Amino acid sequence: MVILARVFSIAEQAKFFNKHIEPWAGLLMRDIEAAKTVVFYRASRNHWKSIFRN
């Protein structure tokens, strides 16, 4: 639990994001846009696209 309270630098956060989030984020956004039953997520796609730049 100690690691959850630690403050991570921007560089550490970027490294984590690039390794664990970025590889699949674009695929997730494409799936959300294509799905017909995810109205809530589709409505927020512009926000997520700006974060993931896909």
**Mean pLDDT to the nearest integer, 23-33:** 86
> What per-residue confidence (pLDDT) applies to 31?
87
Q: Where are the domains of the chain?
A: 22-54
Q: Tell me the pTM.
A: 0.59
Nearest to 52 by CA among 8, 10, 30: 30
* 3-state DSSP helix/strand/coil % of the chain, to nearest 5: 80, 0, 20
d(CA 30, CA 24) in angstroms, rounded, equals: 10
